[in-house]
Every structure is written in C-alpha cells, then in structure tokens.
C-alpha cells in the first residue's frame, strides 16, 4: 500500500488495507481462472490519498476498453467487490482519506493450466501449526461478570464427558456444544482471552483467520478448513478463529458469482465440521446480528467484551506497566486512577499502545538516563485521547456530510422529476391549445367554404 497524504495512518487501518489487498488479489486470481478472462493480465496498485468528505471511500481507475477483449467484464466483477465492501471501507478509513486503486489490463497471459500444473491436493492444501498459548488469565483483566461466564462455559467443557456420557445427558442433547463466541469492539481482549482459555485447559492453541483458509484455487478453502480441524484433533488443540464474521455470516441465497458460491461452500463446510468436532472452538467477532441461524444452534455461549470502565482501566494499566520501568518514586493507587481518567474510553489495546508510546518518547529524548513520573503517562494518555476524539469527530462529520449529500441528491432527483412532470404537463397543455386552435380554425374555414359554395350552387327546382 502506498500513501499520498501527510495524515497519520493508524496501524489498524494499515492492517485492514493489507487484508483488503490480499482479498482483492485472491479475487483477481479467481477471475483469471475463468475461461473468459484467463488470457488477461491484471496489474493492481493501491494508494491511500486525501479526498473531500463527500467522496466515495474508494476511487478505481481502469484501462478497460473494447479492444482488450474481456477487460470490461473483468472490471465489472472488481467493481461489485468494492461495492459490497463500501460500508466497511467507510468505517475503517480515517476521515478525509480515500482508497485509490488502479487496474491495468493487458492480453497475452498464459493460463496456469498451460504454464504449470495445478498442485496435487496434498500440495495445495495449507498446513497449520498450533502454538503454545502466550497469555494466562493472570495476565488478562476481565470484569467479574465476563470472568464468571467464561468459567461457567469452561466447566461445562471440562466436565462434558461426565455430564453427557456417565450421567446420560446425551439422551437429551445428543451433540454437546463446545463453541464459544467472544464478541465486542476491537482491542477489548478477545484474542488474549482465547490464549488464556487454551492455557487454562492445558492445550495448544490453533489460531486461524479467513485469509489463511482462503485459497487461490477454486474449491480448496473447504479442504483447508477440513485440514485445520483435523490438525486440531490430532494435536488436541483449542481452535480459535479470529475476525470470524466471514465464516459465520448468512449464506447467500441468490448466488451470481463463483466467489459467492465458494463462500457458501466454505460456510456449509464449517457447519459440518462443527457438528463433528468434539473439541473446543472459539470465535472472535465484532457483531452477533448477522449470524446464520444454523451457527446459532452450535454455539454454547456468546460472551460480550466491552470497553473497560475506570476501575478496569486501572487494573489493565497496572498489568501493562513493567516492574522494570525506572519511576522516580513508587506510584500509588491514586496515580493509576489519574492515568485511567486520562484514558477514558480506551480499549486494552489502546492502553498498551499509549504506554509503549510513552516509553518510546522517553527513550528517544533521554535514553538510559530516563526516569518516569505518573504525569509522563497521564500526558501521553491525554494526547492520545485528544487524537482519538479528533478522529472520531472527523468521522462523525464525514458520515453526517454523506447523509446530507445523499439527501441533497434525493432532493435534486425529486425536483428534477417534478420539473420533468411540469414540463410534460405544460407541453401537453400547449399541444391541447394548439389542437383546439387548429380545430376552431378548421371549423371556421369549413363554414366559410360552405357559405361560399352555397352561393354558387344552382337553386333546387321547385
């Protein structure tokens, strides 16, 4: 991703654009597998640039034309991809920025089938490696309500065999539910908690996301997903799907593209594997409103992660401040409260980021001779909060402007339609008047002609 702006690009935005570009590259590869487009090369470049508030969150340029056979159809598929993600781009891009993508088509591409053989099933299927959990519950601060929900769910998983097999509850519920969904805003600790769950169960964690399961070969994604679950079963791992909204969304009913069919197949395969898998599966999502109903029946519990309140922030700050930091004097409970108040509305991730920025600033200015005070951290938290509020205000104004522009366009269309109706009525009225004048004139001419004719006709014989 290139940038053509002086605006500071948050790391989360960079990560989102990188993921977006990866998905776009996969789409282009899939389009090129179709016989109508297999002869086309497509070079893509993406740039984040400044744009007026009333602009679409993306602007695409193409060299598609009739002389480059198939390029216009290729362009239409890419445009649909962007339209489907327009709302997501609007939400993720900072106010005043626009994703500018340039696509250059050329003929002469040698289709993969002609230049190389498709790998065998074993070679094309991805490999997955579980990891040792990086966090325990001692390192994660959770509100009591959330902690109790997780503990209750884990107990049901711990005692699943006792309850379902020895005590016979399988007669009531034949398929034990072992799926938990952590949902809530980014940065609230969902991923850390997934590691902590695996740690508490004494198992490795197999962490996955959509891009790791997706494949450039059509039909390979369900096989990759099957391989992931097989790996989890072999290694007795807890499976964790991060940013799992793509997996759990509603299946598309009116399929029009191969990519939509592939996504439906992947979601169907996920349902089958969840049905068969007896281990623990964790999902991390932002929302729970767009789930396919079939997934709901397989989820044991939805656990909501919210932004921490003042006391929660104090505990998180305490956990995130390393003991080795050279404070000029020991900090107190009230000192932590001071920092917490300065970071009102911060997520756990933002707290960690603000602490790191404080350390970096001191290291840059004073090096190893640096000493810290609570005010150093409180000042950095306030600066970060001001930056966050400014970005939120810019985002609010951008969305407000979008609504106003939409209303103006709607008003212009209504006015245009009204003027068009008025013009038609005026034209119809003018035509009617002209017709009436012509009719009257014809009547007068007929009467005059009749009188003139009667004067020259011979009188009837008596």
> Number of C-alpha atoms within 13 angstroms, CB side, residue 121?
5
Q: What per-residue confidence (pLDDT) applies to 392?
A: 82
Res. 461: pLDDT tops 80: no
pLDDT value of residue 430: 56
pLDDT band at 462 (very low <50, low <70, confident <90, very high): very low
Is 232 within 8 Å of 239 (Cβ atoms)? yes
Calpha distance 326→264 (Å, rounded):
55
pLDDT at 449: 41
Model-wide pTM > 0.75: no
**How much is the average pLDDT of 267-275?**
86
How far, in Å, are 125, 183, 192, 200, 325 from residue 204 at the CA level?
Answer: 22, 22, 14, 10, 32
pLDDT at residue 427 is higher than 80: no
d(CA 109, CA 31): 13
pLDDT at 431: 57
What are phi and psi for residue 330, nearest 5 degrees?
A: -60, 140
Other Cβ atoms less than 10 A from the Cβ of 59: the count is 15
Rg from Cα positions in the chain? 33
| Position 332 confidence tier, pLDDT thresholds 50, 70, 90 | very high
pLDDT recorded at residue 130: 94
Q: In angstroms, rounded to a whole number, what is the distance separating the alpha carbons of residues 367 and 274?
A: 52
Proportion of the chain above pLDDT 70, given as a percent: 78
Backbone angles phi, psi at 175, to 5 degrees: -115, 105
pLDDT confidence of 196, banded at 50, 70, 90? very high
Cα distance between residue 150 and residue 192, in whole Å? 13
Rounded CA gap, 200 and 204, in Å? 10
| pLDDT-based confidence at residue 458 (cuts at 50, 70, 90) | very low
Distance between CA atoms of residues 298 and 424, nearest Å = 60
CA dihedral 23, 29, 31, 35 (to 10 degrees): -170
153: left (phi over 0), alpha (psi -120 to 50) or beta: alpha
Give the least confident one: 41-55, 213-227, 252-266: 252-266
Dump pLDDT digits (tens) for 81-117. 888 888 888 888 887 788 888 888 888 766 554 434 4
Q: Give the residue-averaged pLDDT of 337-362.
A: 93
For 40-91, how does the pLDDT look when each residue is reduced to its tens digit (9 = 90+)?
888 888 888 877 665 688 888 888 776 678 888 888 899 988 888 888 888 8
40: β partners: 107
């Amino acid at each position: 991703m290139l940038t053509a702006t002086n605006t500071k690009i948050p790391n989360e935005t960079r990560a989102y654009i990188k993921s977006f570009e990866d998905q776009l590259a996969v789409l282009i590869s899939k389009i090129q597998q179709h016989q109508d487009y297999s002869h086309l090369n497509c070079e893509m470049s993406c740039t984040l640039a400044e744009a007026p508030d009333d602009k679409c969150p993306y602007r695409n340029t193409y060299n598609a034309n009739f002389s480059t056979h198939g390029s216009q159809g290729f362009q239409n598929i890419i445009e649909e991809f962007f339209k489907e993600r327009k709302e997501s781009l609007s939400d993720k891009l900072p106010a005043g920025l626009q994703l500018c993508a340039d696509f250059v088509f050329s003929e002469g591409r040698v289709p993969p089938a002609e230049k190389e053989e498709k790998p065998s099933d074993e070679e094309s299927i991805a490999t997955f490696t579980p990891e040792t959990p990086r966090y325990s519950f001692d390192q994660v601060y959770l509100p009591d309500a959330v902690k109790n929900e997780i503990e209750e769910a884990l107990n049901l998983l711990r005692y699943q065999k006792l309850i379902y097999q020895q005590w016979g509850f399988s007669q009531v519920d034949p398929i034990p539910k072992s799926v938990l969904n952590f949902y809530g805003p980014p940065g609230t600790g969902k991923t850390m908690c997934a590691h902590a769950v695996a740690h508490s169960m004494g198992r490795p964690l197999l962490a996955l996301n959509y891009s790791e399961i997706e494949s450039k070969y059509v039909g390979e994604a369900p096989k990759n997903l099957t391989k992931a679950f097989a790996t989890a079963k072999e290694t007795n791992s807890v499976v964790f799907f991060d940013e799992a909204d793509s997996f759990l969304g509603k299946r598309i009913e009116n399929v029009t593209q191969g990519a939509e069919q592939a996504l439906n197949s992947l979601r169907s395969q996920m349902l089958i594997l969840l049905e068969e898998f007896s281990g623990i599966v964790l999902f991390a999502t932002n929302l729970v409103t767009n789930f396919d109903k079939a997934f709901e029946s397989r989820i044991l519990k939805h656990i909501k992660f919210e932004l921490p309140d003042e006391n929660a922030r104090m505990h998180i700050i305490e956990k995130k401040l390393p003991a080795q930091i050279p404070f000029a004097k020991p900090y107190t409970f009230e000192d932590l409260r001071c920092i917490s108040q300065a970071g009102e509305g911060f997520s756990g991730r933002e707290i960690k980021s603000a602490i790191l920025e404080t350390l970096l600033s001191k290291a840059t200015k004073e090096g190893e001779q640096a000493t810290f005070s609570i005010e150093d951290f409180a000042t950095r938290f306030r600066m970060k909060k001001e930056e966050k509020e400014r970005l939120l205000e810019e985002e609010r104004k951008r969305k407000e402007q979008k609504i106003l522009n939409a209303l103006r366009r709607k008003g212009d269309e209504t006015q245009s339609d009204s003027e068009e109706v008025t013009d038609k009525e005026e034209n119809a009225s003018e035509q009617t008047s002209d017709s009436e004048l012509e009719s009257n004139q014809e009547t007068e001419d007929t009467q005059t002609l009749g009188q003139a004719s009667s004067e020259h006709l011979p009188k009837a014989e008596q």
